[in-house]
Structures are given as C-alpha cells and as structure tokens.
Structure 1
Amino acid sequence: MANFKGHALPGSFFLIVGIWWSLKYPMKYLNQKGKGRKMNYYYRKIEIIEGGVRVFFATVGILAEQFVPDGPHLHLYNDQDWIKLMNWQHCTMYLFYGLSGLMDMLTFLFPVIPLGLDRLLMSLSAIIEGILFYYHVHNRPLLDQHIHFLLLYTVLGGAISTFIEVFLRDNIVLELFRASIIIAHGTWFWQIGFVLYPPAGGPAWDQTSHNNIMFITMCFCWHCLAAIIIVAINYSLVCGIVNRLKRSSRGEENIGIQKLTSGSHSREALLNDTDEE
C-alpha cells in the first residue's frame, strides 16, 4: 500500500518480532547453561509457536495488501496494464517471510529436516526483500529513493548475519545482532511512512532538498542506536530476572537441605536416647 498504513503495518510486524527476539534469546542463553532435555523441550515449543505467529503476520499482510479498497483483489493484469504492482511486491515480501516462519515450525516439528534450513530460508527472505526494494524506487524522487536505500542496509545486515547462523547455530552475539537489525528495520518502516506519507495531513517533505537527505541519513544512525539500546535494556532485564529466580530457587533448596539435615539430626538423637535406655 502506497500510504502511511502500508508502511506502518510491516514496521509493526518487524518491531514486534525484533523485541521478542531481544527477550527470547537472552532468556534461552542464560537458562540453558547446565540444563538438559527438559529446557530444550520448552524452547522447541516456543520456536513452533513463534513460527506460527510469523505465518499469521505474513497472512495478515498479504490480505491487507490485496483486499484494501484500492487493492488489486488478486488481479495481476488486465487488458491494458499490470495492476497495483507495488501491492504485489509487498505481498511477495510477506510470502517469503511467511515461508520462513513455516520452515521454523517444520524444523522443530520434524527432526528429519536439517536444522540450518530455517536460518537459510530466513536469510533468503531478507535477500528477496532487498531485491524487491532495490527495484521498488527507480525513477522516483531523490528523497524517496534514498530513504528506501537506507532500508537495504538493515536488510543486508540481517541476511548476512542469518546466513552465518546456518553454520554457527545458537550464537548469542549473532542472535542479538539480528534482533537489533530487525528492530531498526521495523522502526525505519515507520520513519518512511512519516516522511513520505505524513499522517493527519502534515506538511510534505521536500523530495529534492539535500538537507533533508542529510538529516534522514543521520536519523537512520539514530534508529540503529535506539535498536542497540533496546536490545541492551532487554538483555539486562532478562539477566536480572533470571539471576533473581536462580537465587530464589537456591534459597529454597538450601532451606530444604537444612530441614532434611535437622530432621536427620533429631532422628539420630532420638535413637541414641532409646539405646541409652
């Protein structure tokens, strides 16, 4: 959709997934130290649910692009020309991300599927998005092209880091980097919507101003910094919560041990008394 909502919708999806990853991966990393099969079982269930949610997001995005009042309604071509190719490009992006979520579900449901395929398809989805958006803005105003090209940096970073995860599985640094990239990706979609399609009838940006291009470039760096800060805050919160839970569980174990020890001592004293009698 060539409007504010058309950019806010995928931005919200990417932002939700990125924030979830910034909480899930630290929790997994801190909890799996020294844990066995039971913890892995729970995280497998979480991965399956997450894949289903991503498939749902992709389906909602496709339906929104197709069946808005001015959408193509599943028509690609008429007797004269192509119909709403921008909507169709967005649908293609959603389609590949939906397939990535489906592959995540299948990977954890069926152990016969090689484990790296989920990351490989996720990397392919980012590459497809990059190809679509690279040819998305040809012959459009300069600011429009620039703000979309900046989006490609997050796409490229996500594609490369996810492809490395095919070979370096469960690397917390790569996972946190991917989470920060996807958060910046989502917030930048919102920024594109505010710049190109100001909500509530706000003033339009000058598409040819070099100062606007300089500011947008600087603003992109701020988005990346904000994403890193969000990931750092979430990691710190998860770390604090996990450490507190571990301390409380250790306290309960120590209390239980003390009770067992005191109970055994009292039984020994009682036996000694009976022997003396």
Structure 2
Amino acid sequence: MGKFIGHLYPGLYLFYYGLYQATVVFKAMIVYDSLLYPSWPPRNKGIWARLWKISYGGLLKIVIGSILTVYVVFCLDDMMVLMDKKNALRFMYPKEWQHLTMFILLTLNGCVDVMSKNLLPRRCVLLEKCTLVLTFYVLLLLLMSHVQNSTGIELQTHCLLILVVFLLMLVLTIELWTPDTFHLLLIETFLFLMMGSWLIQVGFILYKPVTGYPWQDDDISDIMFITTFFCWHVMINASCLLGIYGISSLWYRHYCPKDAGKEM
C-alpha cells in the first residue's frame, strides 16, 4: 500500500474533495449563503428536499475509506498479520498498519458526518469539526513516525507533506471556535488541494518518475528540486482556486442572477 497506488488514490480523493469544497465555499461567498447551513432551491420539496440534505461528503468518505481499508488488508500476500509468531513475536508491516489506521479514521469521520447531518434530531457541527480535528491530530502523529527510517528524497517529500498536514490541523483547530468563517474555510480548501496534489506528486517521484530515471538520494540537485516542485504546487493550486472563483462568479452573477441576489 505504500507504493504508487497507495499515494495516487488517496491523493486523488483529497484533491477532488478540495475542488468540491472550493465550489461550495465560493458559491456561499457569491450568493451570501451560510456555509454550515446552506439553503436549497425552493422547488425542492418532499423527497427532493430530503435528497438535497443528504451528507454526500460523509457518504463519500465512508465509501473511499472502506475501499482503501479493504485494499490494505488484501494487498499483502499473507494478509495483515500483526505479529510474527515464528520470530520472537515481532511486529510486522508497521507502515501498512499505519495506512490501515488512517483509512479507518476516514471511514469513521464519514460516519460521524452522516450521523450528524441525517440521523440526529439536530445537526451537531461541533461534533463534526471535533472528529475532523481529531482525525488530523492522529494523522500527524502517524506521519511523524512514518518517516522514521526514511532518508533523502523520501524524507524530503514526506516532510513537506507533514508541513501541509500540520497547517491544516491548525486551521481546523481554529475553526472549532469560528466554524463559519470564509477566509479560514478558503485556507482549509487550499490546504486540501495541496495535500492531494502533493501526495500524487510524491507517488510519481518515488515510484514512477516521469523521466524514467529514479531520483538520487545523494544528489543535492534532486533534493533541492523537491522543494521547487512543492512551490510550483502552491502556485498551481492557488491559480486553480482563482479559476474556480472566476467561473463561479461568472455563473452565479450572469447565468443565475436570482441565486446571486437572493440575499443581497
């Protein structure tokens, strides 16, 4: 699971989640809507109103987390064994067990989202935020130990990933007190995009380099270009957010003027 697929699929999920989050945040900004309690079109009544309120983000977390959990369990030839009984009861597959913990956390976070938005009599935003923050606290701890035996290129790429996770953890922690603040949610969206795109990039750097030649741990130029590529991701993802805002603004102000002016 620590190979190319283990970086690609979680990265794609995080990146597309960031794109979805960007559309939601920018729509709320443009039409002056609430981010936590978005309104739904008046024409949606009965079953359509209930479908509109379903926590699709939570369901997606459950599905993706469950699929990745099953993949981790069955990707090894001898399955997920915790300890080797033949070798002094030593722990086996430490990184795979860390991956499994990460994906179980994602699944549980999705369950909490669905429970809060669709099962409880009244939505509990604080419960959703606390669960998400706790998930990233645990994720940061796992990543810190994940790089214990890493060196060179692998260490540099994962240190930059840890930086993004740390910043995202700080933003999510602040959101516990100000959950409906646009600029914090915009920073959160940007960091999700960064985390996803960089995780994909790490997969290509470590396991499928585009040039066909592996990166060298003892080449200082390769180490320096890792940081350069990370900076390019910062600029590209920022430009991506600007593009989404421009398209959203054009759409809601010119093609859906009623939505854009309903709260003005």
Q: TM-score, normalised by structure 1?
A: 0.80
Q: Which residue, out of 171, 176, 193, partners 1:183? A: 193
Higher helix share: 1
| Match of residue 143, structure 2, among 133, 138, 149 | 133
Gaps of 5+ in 2: none
Q: Distance in 2 between matches of 1:229 and 1:214?
A: 23
Q: Which structure is higher in RCO with an 8 Å CA cutoff and minimum separation 6? A: 2
| Cα-to-partner distance string for 1:36-89 (whole Å, 9 max, x where unaligned) | 985399699456111111111111111111112x35624222312323221111
Q: Indicate how the Cα distance of structure 1 residues 190 and 249 shifts in structure 2: closer, same or farther if over 3 A, else same.
A: closer
**1:106-117 mapped onto 2 (5 Å cutoff):** 106-109=115-118, 110-112=120-122, 114-117=124-127
| Aligned residue identity for 1:93 | M
The answer to whether the 8 Å contact 2:55/2:113 transfers is yes
Shifted more, 103-112 versus 91-100: the winner is 103-112
Larger radius of gyration: 1
Kept in 2: contact 1:181–1:224 (CA 8 A):
no
Q: Which amino acid aligns with 1:185?
A: M
SS at structure 1 position matched to 2:15: helix
**Matched residue, 2:95:** 86
Kindly indicate whether residue 62 of structure 2 is the aligned counterpart of residue 55 of structure 1.
Answer: yes
Aligned-pair distance for 1:21? 0.6
Q: Displacement, 1:248?
A: 6.6
Kindly indicate whether residue 190 of structure 2 is the aligned counterpart of residue 172 of structure 1. Answer: no
Q: What are structure 1's unaligned runs of at least 5 residues?
A: 251-277
Q: Could you tell me whether the CA contact under 8 Å between 2:204 and 2:210 is conserved in 1?
A: no
Alignment length (residue pairs): 248
User: Counterpart amino acid of 1:66?
Assistant: V
- Cα RMSD of the aligned pairs, angstroms, is 2.7
Instruction: Pick the aligned partner of 1:73 from 79, 84, 90.
Output: 79
Identity of aligned residues (%): 22
Distance 1:83 1:193 in 2: 23
Distance 1:43 1:230 in 2: 32
Q: Which residue of 2 aligns with 1:39?
A: 40
How far is the alpha carbon of 1:209 from its aligned partner?
Answer: 1.9
* Deviation, structure 1 residue 132: 0.9
Name the amino acid aligned to 2:94. L
Query: Normalised by the size of structure 2, how large is the TM-score?
Result: 0.84
Question: Of residues 173, 193, 203 in structure 2, which corresponds to 1:193?
Answer: 203
Equivalent residue, structure 2, for 1:202? 212
